[in-house]
Amino acid sequence: MIPLRQHWPQEFADRYRAAGYWRGETFSAFLRQRAAERPQATAIVQGERRWSYGELLARAEAAAAGYLKAGLRPGDRVVVQIGNVAEFFSAVFGLFRAGMIPLYALPAHRITEIAHFARRAEAAGYVIADRQDGFDYRDLARALQAEVPAVKHVVVAGEAAEFTPLATERDGSVALPPDVASSDVAFIQISGGSTGLSKLIPRTHDDYLYSCRASNEICGVTPDSVFLVALPAAHNFPMSSPGHIGTLYAGATVVLSPSPSPDAAFPLIERERVTITGLVPPLALLWMQAAPDTPHDLSSLEVLLVGGAKFTPEVARRVRPALGCTLQQVFGMAEGLVNYTRLDDAEDTIINTQGRAISPDDEVLVVDDLGNPVPEGEPGYLLTRGPYTIRGYHNDDAANARSFTSDGFYRTGDIVRRLPGGYLVVQGRAGDHINRAGEKISAEEIEDHLLAHPHVFDAAIVSIPDEFLGERSCAFIIPQGERPKGAALKAWMRTRGIAEYKVPDQVVLVESFATTAAGKVSRKELRARLRAEFLERQ
């Protein structure tokens, strides 16, 4: 197996430890500690179910023993695909306790993506809920085992069918292993992916818990906070900014919403007296539209984090009047660096910027094409390194060569302006992905699918500004032979085993992709030209 590591040069590791960022804590150790300190406090609320810290710990230990009994071993990588139900937490903290490494898939992912994750991570296990939102994940498990037989173990929360049920009672005959090291990789997040397939992001206990602890401070999370998980729990944003992990770290309460819609979330805010939550911009807009007419009392809400995609100042300005809470903009990435506006920042800063970095040791560079720093206030490429930003993806030399400088800076692909005080304004991006309501879609990945269609000669995927989604995806297709219909092409894309949000929103047939006089044009230029021509025609 390719070793799973995240390595900072010694001098950096020493500095981050000396500064008190990396404290030698692990996920398992902090949960054990909270359960000892406040066993009766409510950790997780889902529907009518309420788990105390004591119960969450007991369930995590039961799950851990169950994995070991089923034949999984410490160090095994395990793909986890569970939506917003309480078992997400017993399953994941169980893996931590057993020394296994979860890889967080989203509920929307399908066989093509799940098989890619399993192969890249060399996963031995797959943990799912039986059915969610009308989809049967056991079917996906069967498909996965047929395609990637190395995934020997499937564990199911709910009706297990032929698979192993997620253990809920502790099997005392199974000894649990000693805790892992805090510098070990705790889990694998996935990148939205700007080129090709999603990359694997290994995060350590030390680095991630630092970002969550510091986020708690910045977002005002205390043991009395109630955090609503409205976005999918596996997303890095609702996990770490300050997210459910920050919330559990604080010993506070996590409330799970089955959907981010106002219909699902507003009654929960009222009933559980939710104090803080996080949304992507289109959902924030939806909440603001629904709030004036809701019968539900939203007055407990103190902080609304908005991030994942650019929040326009015109909408940002209306958050407090509409929802009665403080807006906190957050610009983050699963690779590490997270920026927040501070709760006590001037209104102008909160509305017009995407915040500043968490840590005094986050190194943020804004550079031109040649890598030279640009003057303050000028747009440039954002590069970063720091105490919770990775130094490399797992098992992907090509991506690492592209995405990291020789001195370890991560090339975020974002174009930003830096204002006095280190505040960043996101201007755009260098890479060709579509940021569709916070979900990142790689143009290349979708083009590769389209090229497999018998009546597609060539394809280019382009982001088009969209009033609601921020951006939507448009596929420009040069047909060959028969002219495929847009609807039929979309239906065909759905058979490719990919997440629904990746299916092009729009299909435009063209005769050719005009090329320059030199006859040579990069994909990037081509996409830019198609976008410009399309928008001109509107």
Q: Which residues of this chain interact with ligand DBH, rule CB under 6 A?
A: 236-237, 240-241, 307-308, 330, 332-334, 338, 438
Residue with tokens 């269609």: 453
Residue 323 and residue 326: Cα distance in Å, rounded? 9
- C-alpha dihedral, 240 to 241 to 242 to 247, nearest 10°: -50
User: SS in 3 state form for 185-250?
Assistant: EEEEEECCCCCCCCCEEEEEHHHHHHHHHHHHHHHCCCCCCEEEECCCCCCHHHHHCCHHHHHHHC
Cβ proximity of 360 and 210 under 8 Å: no
Instruction: Confirm or reject binding of residue 333 to ligand AMP (CB under 6 A).
Output: yes
Residue nearest to ligand DBH (CB): 332
503 binds, among ligand DBH, ligand AMP, none (CB under 5 to 8 A by kind): none
**Which residue lies nearer to ligand DBH by CB, 117 or 163?**
117
Instruction: Confirm or reject binding of residue 309 to ligand AMP (CB under 6 A).
Output: yes
% helix, strand, coil for the chain, step of 5: 35, 25, 40
Q: 76, 113, 184, 414: which one contacts ligand AMP (CB under 6 A)?
A: 414
Helix axes 27-37, 53-70, angle to 10 degrees: 140
Neighbours of 10 (CB within 10 A): 8
Buried/exposed 442-476: b ≥16 CB within 10 Å, e otherwise: bbbbbbebbeebeebebbbbbbbebeebbbbbbbb
Instruction: Confirm or reject binding of residue 331 to ligand AMP (CB under 6 A).
Output: yes
412 binds, among ligand AMP, ligand DBH, none (CB under 5 to 8 A by kind): ligand AMP
**Which residue lies nearer to ligand DBH by CB, 28 or 241?**
241
Distances (CA, A) of 203 to 73, 233, 499: 20, 17, 24
Q: 262, 307, 380, 504: which one contacts ligand AMP (CB under 6 A)?
A: 307
Residue 482 and residue 453: Cα distance in Å, rounded? 11
414 binds, among ligand AMP, ligand DBH, none (CB under 5 to 8 A by kind): ligand AMP
Site mask for ligand AMP (CB under 6 A), range 199-238, x = bound = -------------------------------------x--
Residue 186 and residue 205: Cα distance in Å, rounded? 5
Segment contacting ligand AMP by CB under 6 A, of 154-162, 244-252, 323-331, 501-509: 323-331
Nearest distance in Å: CB 193, ligand AMP? 7
In this structure, what token pair is assigned to residue 136?
């049967």
Instruction: Confirm or reject binding of residue 93 to ligand AMP (CB under 6 A).
Output: no
Instruction: Confirm or reject binding of residue 386 to ligand AMP (CB under 6 A).
Output: no
459 binds, among ligand AMP, ligand DBH, none (CB under 5 to 8 A by kind): none
Conformational region of residue 437, where left means phi above 0, alpha means psi within -120 to 50, and beta covers everything else = left
Give the end-to-end CA distance of the chain in Å, rounded to a whole number.
Answer: 52
Instruction: Confirm or reject binding of residue 440 to ligand AMP (CB under 6 A).
Output: yes
CA atoms within a 13 Å half-sphere pointing along the CA-CB vector of 437: 15
Nearest distance in Å: CB 270, ligand AMP? 28
Nearest distance in Å: CB 441, ligand AMP? 10
**Which residue lies nearer to ligand AMP by CB, 126 or 340?**
340
Residue 154 and residue 142: Cα distance in Å, rounded? 9
Of the candidates 459, 202, 263, 240, the residue with the CA atom closest to the CA atom of residue 330: 240
386 binds, among ligand AMP, ligand DBH, none (CB under 5 to 8 A by kind): none
Residue 313 and residue 329: Cα distance in Å, rounded? 11
Instruction: Confirm or reject binding of residue 191 to ligand AMP (CB under 6 A).
Output: yes
362 binds, among ligand AMP, ligand DBH, none (CB under 5 to 8 A by kind): none
Nearest distance in Å: CB 10, ligand AMP? 27
Q: 239, 322, 334, 477: which one contacts ligand AMP (CB under 6 A)?
A: 334
Distances (CA, A) of 242 to 278, 292, 331: 9, 27, 12
Cβ proximity of 495 and 112 under 8 Å: no
| DSSP 8-state class, residue 375 | P
Instruction: Confirm or reject binding of residue 410 to ligand AMP (CB under 6 A).
Output: no
Residue 173 and residue 175: Cα distance in Å, rounded? 6
**Which residue lies nearer to ligand AMP by CB, 185 or 333?**
333
241 binds, among ligand DBH, ligand AMP, none (CB under 5 to 8 A by kind): ligand DBH
**Which residue lies nearer to ligand DBH by CB, 30 or 237?**
237
Nearest distance in Å: CB 316, ligand AMP? 10
Instruction: Confirm or reject binding of residue 429 to ligand AMP (CB under 6 A).
Output: yes
Instruction: Confirm or reject binding of residue 426 to ligand AMP (CB under 6 A).
Output: yes
Of the candidates 427, 456, 177, 458, the residue with the CA atom closest to the CA atom of residue 312: 427
Nearest distance in Å: CB 326, ligand DBH? 17
Instruction: Confirm or reject binding of residue 354 to ligand AMP (CB under 6 A).
Output: yes
Segment contacting ligand AMP by CB under 6 A, of 83-91, 304-312, 359-367, 505-513: 304-312
Binding residues with ligand AMP: total (CB under 6 A): 21
Instruction: Confirm or reject binding of residue 72 to ligand AMP (CB under 6 A).
Output: no
Of the candidates 343, 304, 341, 339, the residue with the CA atom closest to the CA atom of residue 321: 304
354 binds, among ligand AMP, ligand DBH, none (CB under 5 to 8 A by kind): ligand AMP
Nearest distance in Å: CB 406, ligand DBH? 25
C-beta contacts of 481-485 below 8 A and 24+ residues apart: 481/454, 481/455, 482/455, 483/455, 483/509, 484/453, 484/455, 484/456, 484/509
Q: 110, 310, 417, 472: which one contacts ligand AMP (CB under 6 A)?
A: 310
In this structure, what token pair is assigned to residue 525?
């230029």
Query: Reduced to 3 states, what is the DSSP secondary structure of residue 121?
Result: helix
**Which residue lies nearer to ligand DBH by CB, 132 or 191?**
191
Chain residues in the site for ligand AMP (CB under 6 A): 191-192, 236, 307-310, 329-335, 354, 412, 414, 426, 429, 435, 440
